[in-house]
Structure 1
Amino acid sequence: MDYRFFYNERQIPTARLSMDHEAFGLWLSDELGNNKEQLDVILQAIGQLEAGAQREYQWQGRDFLLHLTREDAEVTALTLLQEYSLEELEGEDLDFYDSESRAACGLEDFKDLLIEWRDFL
């Protein structure tokens, strides 16, 4: 997963991620932004998942739902969830692709991304 962090022309922290992970960039830039308190909450939840104290964690923002398990991290646009159920989205025969609406990766990669984002901020 390749990414780049920068401040846009309005000096707002912005994340751009590689294809298949673009939704993480939108989530970081638009949902999480520079909210360090929420970032710390999510990193604490990851620590609890890694320690086996929790099975999953969810956080719903304005536009995206973050879902973490002990193995994976996923962000899904709420508009996508309104159109499809989670079961339909997980089905292999779903015939559309929208990398700006949904992205997934391993929990460890996601944790590394968040730590890099925190360091960037």
Structure 2
Amino acid sequence: MEYQFIRDPISGFRVKMSAEHELVGRWLNDELEHAALPGLLARLKEIKATRDEFCLEGREVRLIVSHQEALFEAHDLYHEQTDALSAYSDDALALEEHGLSAGCGFEDFEALLLDWQDFIRRRR
């Protein structure tokens, strides 16, 4: 998983991710509050020990973490078609599912969060 951390003077701390992990970057930039990071890292330690899993429902992205992987799913992935949307079927429009889900291994996710925490601490 490739990423680059940036400290933008306008938008604050940001991460740029590779295209296949774009949703992970979106979650980190828009969903995870800096104050919640230590608690999340503590949960990851529990996951290692218990082999349990947990789910975090964000505003736009759901995170599901098990001892093997972290799975990110945009809520748009579960968008049900309505009558209003079916009116566009003649135009051959469809929900673009690319970028609506992403995943990574548990260790990669933990390393990303530790690097993110370190970056934020050094730049404050």
State the AA in 1 paired with 2:18.
S
SS of structure 2 residue aligned to 1:62: coil
> Percent of aligned positions with the same letter in both sequences?
32
Runs of 4+ more than 3 Å apart: none
Maintained 8 Å contact 2:77/2:97: no
RMSD: 1.8
- Paired position in structure 2 for 1:110: 109
1:39 has 2:55 as partner? no
Q: Structure 1 12/50 Cα, relative in aligned 2: closer, same or farther at 3 Å?
A: same
Q: Structure 1 83/38 Cα, relative in aligned 2: closer, same or farther at 3 Å?
A: farther
- Paired position in structure 1 for 2:7: 7
Maintained 8 Å contact 2:73/2:102: yes
- Paired position in structure 2 for 1:81: 78
Cα distance in structure 1, aligned partners of 2:55 and 2:41: 12
Following superposition, the deviation at residue 18 of structure 1 comes to 1.1
| Structure with bigger gyration radius | 2
State the AA in 1 paired with 2:45.
G
Q: Deviations over 1:9-49 (max 9, x none)?
A: 514211111121111111100111xx233112211111111
- Paired position in structure 2 for 1:87: none
Cα distance in structure 2, aligned partners of 1:27 and 1:64: 6
- Normalised by the length of structure 2, the TM-score is 0.77
Q: Structure 1 83/55 Cα, relative in aligned 2: closer, same or farther at 3 Å?
A: farther
Unaligned runs of 5+ in 2: 82-95
- Normalised by the length of structure 1, the TM-score is 0.79
Cα distance in structure 2, aligned partners of 1:9 and 1:38: 22
How many residues are treated as equivalent by the alignment? 106
Q: Select which of 42, 49, 52 maps to 1:51.
A: 49
State the AA in 1 paired with 2:24.
F
Q: Deviations over 1:38-74 (max 9, x none)?
A: 112211111111012x511111111111100110001
- Paired position in structure 1 for 2:61: 64
Cα distance in structure 1, aligned partners of 2:109 and 2:23: 12
